[in-house]
Structure 1
């Protein structure tokens, strides 16, 4: 009897996922390969963000490896501080990843578009602590993120953050290193710029850049209105002086940034055997209870207003140009079959459990 019920459950879990599984609402944004739309699962009412990758755009830019890599890594992640993948499916023209919906905007918008540039100290501490928890989870899975920047840190309705956009992340075998100049200029660690082998060290450098930018209202290696070229940015990251204004930085924040922005990865905070534990024990976080934080029991210092949209008008973003000279054929089907795997077990089970407990999604935020 129990085994029969188990089979029924697994059959329901593995049901075919198509665009008809969801109701689609407003567009949330656009990216290099496609668009993001708010959507709702018809059966449960759960709200998500559907990241639609245009097949022709992916093929034209040879983005198959990046798209599949992000999808496969997201399947292995289960943290309240990293966006979760709930479903992956395809339509005739798109590859779709159904992800945690984050209506509160990204940290870049909050740093630069709400009041004076920068964030309050308690916000900086809270967001840095949650990012640290997200990185710890990824590192425990052997995943180095490699693209930590304000645009990739998203807020949910309650003000908690999640790390997003794992397209540049890579999974390392135990004890192995990786090499590759990937990331965003201005946030890339020296060892990445110099094309050296590295492990998790670029992520702790990225956290230092993030804490600095949230505090100062500008990145550590770029002045406001500065359009420095790539070569100059590389020089600054390798050897430039980092200035800490006493108006913005206290002693603990300066020490944390200096420890994370140490150019030698062997001396950088977080890069010793204790990893994230060393970062979490820094005096900057002395008022943070990380156990309660990881349990979701700490109240965020800022809660987004549900009546506001925390992003630029998506209509201001240029439409995709028509992709010419790119045709889809049978050779692409093998890649699509790896991508189109339906529901992700743990997240689907959590969704059904929440539905059974009366926790239903709402479409109101999607229609804002």
Structure 2
């Protein structure tokens, strides 16, 4: 039992429903999830929160078809089912980009009921055990990354962006926080592969945002995006 799952246990509500309970709690307000699909998994600690959902550690208990062969530890991006339009769109995009080794993998989706009775839409993602590129830069304590790291990561990120562009899309929010670092299994986990994540603002290349509602992080907006609301392929570079 890992630290994130300590104190958690499962209780069955019906043959097709699973209630995940915080065993350290004294009341039912700490019920974490009821699975509607029969997929047995435990929601762990929150990893982060953004405009399109919150991301948690997820621990697979009983594999189903969409999770077959997947690591028992995944990242679970969740939002209210009634507000899941953008997350569902991201789920579709990840399926389109599924063959690119430099875009985060998506393993499937699930719907659950939270402690407050609200339906949640969940997407199972590859767990980036190395954190984000922003975390790596912060750990350098102002010295920055070494040149060989910059070359390696830049090459991988550009390959990922090229793959996205070749399929007619623009990411629109490329920044260190959205570059996820996943252990390279071929190196025994000693190295990390940078993978592009957070596709919530990704759009078709010929789609123009109406100002001022175009997407992106202000610090990373290009001049043409600010002035004209244009976000085409060069915007990601």
TM-score of the alignment, normalized to the shorter chain, above 0.5: yes
1:34–1:54 Cα contact (<8 Å) kept: no
Correspondent of 1:85 among 106, 129, 133: 106
Which runs of 5 or more structure 2 residues have no equivalent in the other structure? 1-34, 114-118, 185-191
3-state SS in 1 of match to 2:121: strand
Work out the CA distance in 2 between the residues paired with 1:185 and 1:54. 26
Shift of the alpha carbon at 1:24? Answer: 2.2
Shift of the alpha carbon at 1:99? Answer: 1.0
1:39–1:50 Cα contact (<8 Å) kept: no
Shift of the alpha carbon at 1:135? Answer: 0.3
Q: Match for residue 38 of structure 1?
A: 58
Higher strand share: 2
Q: Match for residue 191 of structure 1?
A: 224
Q: Deviations over 1:27-49 (max 9, x none)?
A: 25131332322322623462221
Q: Match for residue 325 of structure 1?
A: none
Shift of the alpha carbon at 1:116? Answer: 3.5
2:170–2:231 Cα contact (<8 Å) kept: no
Correspondent of 2:198 among 140, 150, 165: 165
Shift of the alpha carbon at 1:21? Answer: 1.9
Write the mapping of 1:152-231 to structure 2, written as runs, cut at 5 A: 152-158=178-184, 159-172=192-205, 176-180=206-210, 181-204=214-237
Work out the CA distance in 2 between the residues paired with 1:166 and 1:197. 18
2:130–2:180 Cα contact (<8 Å) kept: yes
Q: Match for residue 39 of structure 2?
A: 21
Alpha carbons of structure 1 residues 21 and 81: separation in structure 2 relative to 1, 3 Å: same
Alpha carbons of structure 1 residues 45 and 75: separation in structure 2 relative to 1, 3 Å: closer
Higher helix share: 1
Shift of the alpha carbon at 1:19? Answer: 5.9
Higher relative contact order (CA closer than 8 Å, sequence separation 6+): 1
Shift of the alpha carbon at 1:123? Answer: 0.7
3-state SS in 2 of match to 1:26: strand
Alpha carbons of structure 1 residues 75 and 45: separation in structure 2 relative to 1, 3 Å: closer
TM-score by length of 1: 0.45
Which runs of 5 or more structure 1 residues have no equivalent in the other structure? 1-16, 59-63, 205-368
2:41–2:60 Cα contact (<8 Å) kept: yes
Alpha carbons of structure 1 residues 106 and 19: separation in structure 2 relative to 1, 3 Å: farther
3-state SS in 1 of match to 2:79: strand
In the alignment, structure 1 residue 99 sits paired with structure 2 residue 99: no
Q: Match for residue 66 of structure 1?
A: 86
Q: Match for residue 176 of structure 2?
A: 150
TM-score by length of 2: 0.68
Compute the RMSD of aligned alpha carbons: 2.2
Alpha carbons of structure 1 residues 95 and 107: separation in structure 2 relative to 1, 3 Å: same
Structure having the higher Rg: 1
Provide the aligned length of Structure 1 versus Structure 2.
Answer: 179
Q: Deviations over 1:44-95 (max 9, x none)?
A: 4622211121346x3xxxxx44223212211211211001221122113211
3-state SS in 2 of match to 1:86: strand
Shift of the alpha carbon at 1:194? Answer: 1.3
Alpha carbons of structure 1 residues 132 and 41: separation in structure 2 relative to 1, 3 Å: farther
Work out the CA distance in 2 between the residues paired with 1:94 and 1:179. 28
Work out the CA distance in 1 between the residues paired with 2:55 and 2:194. 21
Which aligned segments of 4 or more residues in structure 1 are displaced greater than 6 angstroms? none
